[in-house]
Every structure is written in structure tokens, then in C-alpha cells.
Amino acid sequence: MKGDIGVIGLAVMGQNLILNMNDNGFTVVAHNRTAAKVDEFLQGPAKGTNIIGAYSLEELVEKLEAPRKVMLMVRAGEVVDKFIEALVPLLDKGDIIIDGGNTNYPDTNRRVAALKEKGIHFIGAGVSGGEEGARFGPSIMPGGSAEAWPAVKPIFQAISAKTDAGEPCCDWLVTTVQVTSLRWFTMASNTVTCS
């Protein structure tokens, strides 16, 4: 069985998003730089699920359906760039890298442009709602390579929080990304932004 999406980073937010995706019927491939963390997750919170462990980036990519969707749930900044650099040689044109961290939007715009030259799509996706939101329904604010949205939309809209009318708190926002700024505005104004 191949995975629908891969998630790199098994801190609480990454684990909870993976469990949420699993609960919504998606097969997730989970990876962490520390192999022991993968084992702990698979034998702990993920025990008895369809979640697949991967102990290297090569194994992660190999276990994903095309177009491959790889979500980074790691600390913003240089760590994201290092993972992108390591992933690019393993991916094919049309594959997608998603940054789910609190990245400054100019960094996201830079990554969108750099990866476009290689034929790889990049999405910056603000994930709001904290640990509980990640587990049971966050607000997700994706932007970046619009061509990638149809491939990730079913996953993101299934796992997101829902409005009282049942609409997902997730929709495509912008191609030039300023979604992290929107996330901080939303948090500061204590409102929920859903479309």
C-alpha cells in the first residue's frame, strides 16, 4: 500500500496531524530524523492504524503515490531549507512539498520560485489551532503553487475544522504567499477565518 501523503516531523503537531489524516481515511507515511521517534510513534499513538513508518527520506518518497505530497512539520527557517535540499533530488516533476510551519512569507515566496524552476510545487500552509486543532481539526491556510492545490485539497479540507454550516476551514488563499501574516492577524483578532 502506498501513502497518500508523507509527513516529516514527529513532534506533537506532526503526530496529531498524522493521526487526524489517518482518522479521515488517508494513508500517511511518517518520518523523523531520529529513527527512534518513528518507532515510538508507531508503537504508541499510531499503534493499530494504517500509518506507515519511513526511516529515511528515500524510503518516505518510495512509499508515496504520485504526485508525491510531502508535508514538513519542522521548525521554520534553515531546517526547512535543508529538508527541501535533501528532498529535491528524490522527487519528480509535479511532486509537492508543503511547509506546515510558522514560516515568514518571503521565505515561502522564495521557495515557490526556486522549486518552480525544478518543476516541483511548493505550498506554505499555516496550520492554526494548536495541538488540539491539529488532532481534531485545524484551520489551514494554504498558498503558493496553485497547480498543487487540487492534489492536496481533499486531504486538507477533510482534516480541517468545519464551520457551523459544515464548510471546511481551509481553502486556497493566494499564489503569492502572505498566509502566515494572515494567520497571525487571525490569532491576534481572536477570530476564525474560514471560507
Could you tell me the CATH number of the domain that includes residue 51? 3.40.50.720
Domain that holds residue 148: 5-188
Q: What pairs with residue 144 in β-bridges? A: 123
Establish if 195 belongs to a structural domain: no
pLDDT at 179: 47
Establish if 26 belongs to a structural domain: yes
SS (H, E, C) 23-92: HCCCCEEEECCCHHHHHHHHHCCCCCCCCEEECCHHHHHHCECCCCEEEECCCCCHHHHHHHHHHHHHCC
Establish if 150 belongs to a structural domain: yes
Establish if 159 belongs to a structural domain: yes
pLDDT at 100: 94
Cβ atoms of 84 and 97 closer than 8 Å: yes
pLDDT at 173: 82
Establish if 194 belongs to a structural domain: no
Establish if 193 belongs to a structural domain: no
The set of cell numbers assigned to 104 is 515568514
30 C-beta neighbours (distance < 10 Å), count: 29
pLDDT at 102: 82
48, HSE (Cβ side, Cα atoms, 13 Å):
3
125 C-beta neighbours (distance < 10 Å), count: 26
How many structural domains does the chain have?
Answer: 1
Establish if 152 belongs to a structural domain: yes
pLDDT at 143: 92
Please give the Cα distance from 114 to 111 (Å, whole number). Answer: 5
pLDDT at 63: 99
Q: Which residue ranges in the chain fall short of pLDDT 70?
A: 175-195
> Judging by beta carbons within 10 Å of its beta carbon (0-12, 13-18, 19+), is residue 34 exposed, middle or buried?
exposed
